[in-house]
Amino acid sequence: MPIGDEELRACCASRRWIEAVRGRGPAELRAVSAAVLDGLDWTDVEEALAAHPRIGDRVAGGDRESAWSRGEQSGMDAAADGVRTALVAGNRAYEERFGHVFLICATGLSAAGMLAALRERLGNDAAAERAVVRTELAKIVDLRLAKLIEEPK
């Protein structure tokens, strides 16, 4: 049974991505998704980025995407105040430099690990950072699709 648009939007908010993967069955969805993500225009990537919270922001809500985001960022749960403060400042610097939210596949990462990656990536030029963002987005989308496919209906 095909997965609905709202379920897909919880995985990736790019309308172009949703249109391209709509109607795909579980067996082909992840492979098609990877190919589509690889071919998205940067404006489509920005549309997907706009739906992601800042690292360290506690997402409220009972919907699937909010729950996934909280789980993905669970490495923040035990973060020291200094790390949280540094992430707020780092997020601000990153957004000023690149014009979008800092995106990282946070699953399994500690807050200190996320902060270290943010600081390292601030040194990237725009082209290098866009490549990293695409890779991180693809990881997040694939993890979420796997969860979606595995959820009991």
The confidence band for 152, taking pLDDT boundaries of 50, 70 and 90, is low
Mean pLDDT is lowest, of 54-58, 78-82, 100-104, for 54-58
Is residue 59 exposed (0-12), middle (13-18) or buried (19+ Cβ within 10 Å)?
Answer: middle
Domain ranges of the chain: 1-51+137-153, 54-122
pLDDT of 23-52, one tens digit each? 998 889 999 999 999 999 999 999 999 999
Number of H helices, E strands in the chain: 8, 0
- If one looks up domain 54-122 in CATH, what number appears? 1.10.3330.10
Q: What is the pTM of this model?
A: 0.92
The confidence band for 76, taking pLDDT boundaries of 50, 70 and 90, is confident
- pLDDT of 67: 82
Helix (H, G, I), strand (E, B) or coil at 150: helix
Between 68 and 142, the higher pLDDT residue: 142
Is residue 121 exposed (0-12), middle (13-18) or buried (19+ Cβ within 10 Å)?
Answer: buried
- pLDDT of 30: 95
Amino acid occupying residue 128: A
